[in-house]
């Protein structure tokens, strides 16, 4: 692991060459600033073919998570990027992408840094119970012109979080046990390459049911709140229950207080009780 200069920007040329060396097939761009990498690919995808495009941004002035929650980052500090994807399968299987993305992030952190990461269903990655990564998957277009934009925000070198984030968030720099890493920070480029490699591998499971079953087992093993009591908001209505696991398509299995099992496909909020 090499040590970055403070606020060193991602080197687009080096990132492209590293991805080409692993034959990943992604087309890479690195921007100094944009409103939102998801919005950028959405707009470009409506007028041209953006499949395989990956856009990193050092600053996103309008970055967001699910339900329009704000995502902030500082230049030279984190990894904020989006990629365009068009899975070669029926749209019903596209819902697999969010958790496959989370699995790819977990595997990249385990490979690159030896950190054990867990998945908070459906779209957050945690280390030590604190959020280190958020994922936003959005679909655009209609019919044969439909495509997905996958947004990832990974806290890499942040050392301080303000407000409520001080109690709920962490960064890779803080999570690493090494005092040297805590002092100097992490080089984001090799981590970005490993992330893109793991994402390419994970996305093969979108269309392949057998591969997805294997991935789902790995996702289940990283279920941060398995067996825990949670409160959810589904379509604006709160509900409670114990997390029992995932269905064969990755939906949440919840045991309610009445003893009935409920399947949750999407929720606005998921919190521990």
Does residue 48 share a domain with residue 173?
Answer: yes
**How far apart, in Å, are the Cα atoms of 67 and each of 55, 123, 182?**
22, 12, 32
Q: Which residue has the higher pLDDT, 68 or 229?
A: 229
Distance CA 30, CA 85 (A): 18
Closest CA to 103 of 224, 185, 21: 224
Does residue 86 share a domain with residue 205?
Answer: yes
Above pLDDT 90, what percent of the chain?
79
**In this structure, are residues 267 and 233 in contact, taking their beta carbons and an 8 Å threshold?**
yes
Q: What single-letter DSSP state applies at residue 77?
A: T
Does residue 126 share a domain with residue 107?
Answer: yes
* Domain count along the chain: 2
Reading the block at residue 121, the tokens are 């269903």
pTM: 0.93
Q: What is the pLDDT of residue 70?
A: 56
Q: What is the pLDDT of residue 3?
A: 46
Q: What is the pLDDT of residue 76?
A: 82
Q: CATH number, domain at 240?
A: 2.30.30.100
pLDDT tens, residue by residue, 39-98 = 999 999 999 999 999 999 999 988 665 555 555 566 789 999 999 999 888 888 999 999
Domain extent at residue 267: 229-272
Q: What is the pLDDT of residue 73?
A: 61
Before 122, cis peptide (omega within 30)?
A: yes
Is residue 6 situated within a structural domain?
no
Q: What is the dihedral of CA 253, 87, 51, 48, to 10 degrees?
A: -100
């Amino acid at each position: 692991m090499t040590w970055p200069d403070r606020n060193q920007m991602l080197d687009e040329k080096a990132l492209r060459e590293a991805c080409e060396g692993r034959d990943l097939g992604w087309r890479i761009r690195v921007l100094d600033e944009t409103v939102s990498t998801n919005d950028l690919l959405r707009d470009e995808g409506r007028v041209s073919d953006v499949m395989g495009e990956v856009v990193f941004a050092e600053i996103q002035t309008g970055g967001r998570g699910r339900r329009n929650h704000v995502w902030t980052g500082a230049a030279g500090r984190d990894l904020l990027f989006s990629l365009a994807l068009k899975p070669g399968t029926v749209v019903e299987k596209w819902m697999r992408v969010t958790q496959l993305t989370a699995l790819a992030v977990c595997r990249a952190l385990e490979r690159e840094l030896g950190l054990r990461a867990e998945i908070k269903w459906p779209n957050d990655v945690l280390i030590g119970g604190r959020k280190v990564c958020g994922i936003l998957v959005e679909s655009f277009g209609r019919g044969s012109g439909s495509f997905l934009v996958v947004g990832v925000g990974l806290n890499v070198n942040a050392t301080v979080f303000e407000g409520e984030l001080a109690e709920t968030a962490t960064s890779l720099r803080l999570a690493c046990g090494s005092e040297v890493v805590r002092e100097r920070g992490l080089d984001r480029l090799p981590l970005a390459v490993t992330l893109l490699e793991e994402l390419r591998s994970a996305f093969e499971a979108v269309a392949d049911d057998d591969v997805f079953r294997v991935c789902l087992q790995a996702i289940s093993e990283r279920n941060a709140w398995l067996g825990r009591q949670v409160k959810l908001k589904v379509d604006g209505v709160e509900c409670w229950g114990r997390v029992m696991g995932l269905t064969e398509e990755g939906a949440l299995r919840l045991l309610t207080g009445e003893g009935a099992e409920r399947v949750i496909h999407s929720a606005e909020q998921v919190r521990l009780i």
